[in-house]
Structure 1
């Protein structure tokens, strides 16, 4: 799995001009699944993301987790994180998971994040979405379970 995490002041996702998910302070997650991903990959990412300390404490150091600041997550599926751009000018997406498995793992990932006590809003898997955010920092971190 690959996740791009962005610390945000706010974020939202619209489908057909309707807001389907929105948060204030927290994380925007762009999430991609491969067919070879496992339950252990989901658990690893949920642990790392829920415990990640990238919010500033009283001394201005990134020392607080999302739960420490009452933050929320906006999770958006994004298979294009597995784009292969090595050949030609049109990316290939053979490395992205098949929709059936990817949907199941994306939903499972979000459920497990919610189980940690974090509020999680989502987009809609496979939909054409307009994502808006105000990046905070900016702080952007890439997680890839191939490199855990």
Structure 2
């Protein structure tokens, strides 16, 4: 989807520069792919949110989206061909940091809710039955 969005954005940029790209079938194909991908993605995201907790779905969605976007850019646009080893290592470290941070946020969020449930105060005892209440009089 990201590659298709990038292709549509480039087509729009070129069209605004007086080089109409909407006369080509490829432009309409990429627009179609973007629409279909958005519909499918929303459908499955809603199904996932119905089945699982948001604290699980969001990190998985974010990490998978990031991984697939990086891989698609590597394949389609050969982003890393012109970069040095230092730049590639820096990008990989940033990616690992994002994945680790997302995992830790999810893990600490889950464990803090578990601890909160364990440390909740005990409810007060129920009142005595009506026949045991003493009436002063």
Give TM-score scaled by structure 2 length.
0.26
Structure with greater strand share of residues: 1
Higher relative contact order (CA 8 A, sep 6+): 1
Give TM-score scaled by structure 1 length.
0.24
Q: Which has the larger radius of gyration?
A: 2
